[in-house]
């Protein structure tokens, strides 16, 4: 919990990079894109905790550098988005925490379906792309056991997951070509494939580009810098044309997912060039009003997205966090991705 007195005294700009609260560690130093340092708070409310003298978060953009540094013992724990590096650390025998299946993020293509001039505004075009993606091939080639092919936005085990969807064979190039022909694009078209700058790799981009090329869709790959990618996602200017590769996260309270990603009146509206399926906007506040998440309502939400193909899921990322053998921490073991309880973490000498 943040300190309202400090916020009022110092102002929002200061508070943004100088957190003052009731946590087990005190903020010491922040160096943008380099590190964030915390020291032990001796007057923490829970007697005897925290066990550690401090915590230092180090930011590295290159997964290979992260892997090498962790294996050399420079870090006590880490997690990696990319399958190859994560699998090599796993296979080297390091202990790890694994995120529960229902909480795993789903990686998907967001379409410019709200743009009338975009070919992606045509449902048959979006259905063609859905059938053109070789999810199994991508997962086997690039996942190293950490990707699960998926055809819907809700991960396996989630209350909104529809098991029957995953029993139908989707990858069908001939069907994709026929749909594209029926949509009025027998010779395909040109578009963009926009990849996130911080966690998607060129191999994945090339695989998706190749799948699209198989049905004569020529996709120019773009890796924008972080600010530009955020502009595409969060501003009404949007990205105008193309497919954005996006991670859709999940939480123990599943209703956070639709509130964050699918509620234009919510705290963080995004994807203004993406059309909402009919009735979806009304479903979100309905989901938020119930004391307990209603399974039928949650699956109705997933069904609307699946039928409309406004987003095209590719795989579920089975995330793991690695620890040195002497480290005991619940990093990425119980909640949303890298949530953890640092007050409970400890290390053997």
Give the pLDDT confidence score for residue 92 in this predicted structure: 94
Contact 243, 194 (CB under 8 A): yes
Dihedral angle at the C-alpha atoms of 58, 64, 68, 74, nearest 10 degrees?
Answer: 0
247 vs 311: CA distance, rounded Å: 11
pLDDT single digits (tens) 301-310? 999 999 999 9
For the segment 232-247, the average pLDDT, to the nearest whole number, is 95
For the segment 58-76, the average pLDDT, to the nearest whole number, is 90
Structure tokens at 281: 């906007």
Domain map of the chain by residue range? 4-100, 102-317
pLDDT at 335 over 90: no
Concatenating the DSSP letter of every residue in 194-231 gives: E--TTT--HHHHHHHHHHHHTTTEEEEEE---HHHHHH
338 vs 36: CA distance, rounded Å: 15
113 vs 243: CA distance, rounded Å: 9
CATH number of 102-317: 3.10.105.10
For the segment 65-88, the average pLDDT, to the nearest whole number, is 89
Sheet of 35-40, strands arranged across: 25-31, 35-40, 54-58
173 vs 229: CA distance, rounded Å: 30
What fold does the segment set 4-100 form as a domain?
D-Maltodextrin-Binding Protein; domain 2 (3.40.190)
Residue 30: which region, alpha, beta or left (left: phi > 0; alpha: psi -120 to 50)? beta
């Amino acid at each position: 919990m943040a300190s309202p007195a400090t916020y009022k005294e110092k102002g929002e700009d200061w508070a943004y990079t100088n957190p003052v609260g009731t946590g087990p560690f005190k903020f010491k130093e922040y160096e943008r894109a380099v590190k964030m340092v915390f020291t032990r708070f001796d007057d923490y409310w829970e007697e005897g905790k925290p066990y550690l003298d401090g915590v230092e978060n180090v930011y590295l953009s290159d997964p290979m550098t992260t892997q090498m540094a962790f294996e050399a013992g420079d870090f006590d724990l880490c997690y990696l988005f990319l399958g190859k590096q994560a699998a090599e650390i796993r296979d080297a025998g390091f202990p790890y925490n694994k995120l529960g299946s229902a909480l795993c993020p789903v990686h998907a293509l967001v379409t410019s379906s709200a743009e009338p001039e975009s070919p992606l505004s045509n449902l048959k075009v979006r259905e063609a792309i859905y059938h053109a993606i070789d999810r199994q091939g991508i997962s086997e080639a690039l996942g190293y056991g950490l990707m699960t092919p998926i055809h819907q936005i809700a991960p396996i085990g989630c209350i909104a997951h529809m098991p029957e969807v995953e029993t139908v064979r989707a990858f069908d190039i001939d069907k994709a070509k026929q749909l594209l022909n029926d949509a009025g694009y027998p010779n395909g078209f040109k578009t963009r494939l926009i990849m996130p700058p911080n966690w998607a790799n060129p191999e994945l981009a090339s695989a998706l580009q190749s799948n699209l090329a198989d049905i004569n869709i020529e996709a120019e790959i773009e890796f924008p810098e972080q600010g530009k990618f955020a502009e595409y996602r969060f501003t009404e200017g949007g990205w105008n044309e193309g497919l954005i590769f996006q991670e859709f996260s999940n939480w123990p309270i599943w209703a956070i997912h639709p509130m964050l990603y699918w509620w234009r009146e919510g705290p963080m509206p995004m994807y203004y060039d993406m059309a909402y399926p009919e009735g979806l906007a009304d479903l979100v506040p309905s989901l938020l009003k119930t004391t307990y998440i209603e399974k039928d309502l949650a699956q109705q939400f997933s069904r609307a997205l699946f039928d409309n193909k406004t987003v095209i899921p590719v795989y579920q990322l089975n995330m793991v966090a690695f620890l040195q053998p002497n480290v005991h921490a619940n990093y990425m073991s119980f909640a949303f991705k890298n949530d953890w309880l640092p007050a409970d973490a400890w290390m053997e000498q």
